[in-house]
Amino acid sequence: MTPVTRDPSDPAAPAPDGARPVAAIDADPDRARHYGQFYGLDPLPGDDRPLFVVHGNCQAESLRQLLQQAPGSPWSSVRIPPVHELAADEISLLQRLLERADVVLTQPIADDYGGMPLGAAQVAEAASSARTVVWPVVFYAGLHPWQIVHHDAEAGDPPLVPYHDARTVLRAAGSELATDARAAAAVSSWSVDELRRREKAAGAVPVSDLVLSAGAGAMRTINHPANPVLVALARRLQEALGLPATAVDPGRRFLDVLHAPVSADVLVELGLDPAAAREDWLVSGEAVPADEVARAQLAWLVDRPRVVADIVRRHRAQLDLLAGRAPGAPSR
């Protein structure tokens, strides 16, 4: 598309669609170009098709592409940064899209997320003329029962990959966790139950059954669904909007940067084909040995006992299941 030309005598002047320059454009021009329509660097869709907005975490853009590119798609759309990347000066950019939107698909985000009006209810209110459908945060631990997602604003992410391993965390805490794959079935059931509970609480389009039916190909990491789940969810969203379920796999892999190891023993415990197992991490297509990740993260955690204690406290239910205890049961 042809870039929007701003008045050089007034760099703060809005683009023709009302977008004003924000700090992110100068901070990372390549990223800003990737989201060119959102930042007003490229014109918004100019056709008469209704506009749909997909609001959420890193899963949102994959769904937007599947829905936009589905055969017979009646919509136009705009690539939007994930909710955790939005800054305060970008709220007006999102609101200008919401005011135009005919359909908003949002994850069940809490009000005032990050201190900004980015919650699902707030987005729905801003898109007063749009139909809003809630879709869940896809999170499933069955294939990766020892994996933990824990973000610490002060310490940042651990080295090599932004995920923790329960065995490494407990080793840093001075204890050991057996690697018995029999715990995988318990973690899988707990994880699906949690996903169902959250779906019901949010009135979201369900995905928990889709995760199970996708088997060993369901997830790349504990919170990155793979194509089979994303395509099935896109089709379910089309049905929720009264449209034919036409979304198809485009032949390229979504959320493809990180692939976590998958244990053959875990797959067997879940009744899945162990041929899908993988010993190492894949990071941008390069193999990173799991042992290398464990060593680097253990050293990092040992130097950060506060982070270790916080992980153990906040993820107690998963750790209990991995230890063969009911969540909340006292340790022996």
Residue 308 CB contacts under 8 Å (≥ 6 apart), including other chains: 169, 172, 173, 301
- Please report which confidence band the pLDDT of residue 176 belongs to, taking 50, 70 and 90 as the band edges: confident
Residue 17 scores a pLDDT above 80: no
DSSP state of 262: B
Q: Answer whether residue 250 shows pLDDT above 60.
A: yes
> Which pLDDT does position 91 carry in this prediction?
97
pLDDT at site 199: 97
Report CA torsion sign: 270, 274, 276, 281.
Answer: positive
Residues of the chain with pLDDT > 90, as a percent, come to 86
Residue 286 confidence (pLDDT) above 70: yes
What pLDDT score does 46 carry?
Answer: 81
DSSP for 288-299? E-HHHHHHHHHH
Can you list the positions of beta strands (E) in the chain?
51-55, 76-77, 103-106, 131-134, 147-148, 164-165, 219-221, 224-225, 258-259, 281-283, 286-288
Contact 96, 68 (CB under 8 A): no
E-state strands within 222-279: 224-225, 258-259
Please state, in angstroms and rounded to a whole number, the distance separating the CA atoms of residues 78 and 27. Answer: 21
In this structure, what token pair is assigned to residue 134?
């809630």
List, for residues 70-85, the tens digit of each pLDDT value: 999 999 999 999 999 9
Residue 127 in contact with residue 99, Cβ under 8 Å?
yes
Confidence (pLDDT) at 4: 41
What is the biggest distance separating any 2 CA atoms in the chain, rounded to whole angstroms? 72
Question: Average pLDDT of 182-195?
Answer: 93
For residue 279, pLDDT over 50 is answered with yes
pLDDT band at 332 (very low <50, low <70, confident <90, very high): very low
CA dist., res. 104 & res. 106, Å (int): 6
The SS3 of residue 274 is: helix
pLDDT band at 9 (very low <50, low <70, confident <90, very high): very low
- Cα dist. 260→14, 103, 198, 284 in Å? 43, 34, 24, 12
Averaged pLDDT, 111-126: 97
Whether the pLDDT of residue 257 is over 60: the answer is yes
pTM: 0.92
- pLDDT tens digits for range 124-156: 999 999 999 999 999 999 999 999 999 999 999
Q: How crowded is residue 62: how many other Cβ atoms within 10 Å of its Cβ? A: 23
Q: How far is 310 from 307, CA to CA, in rounded Å? A: 5
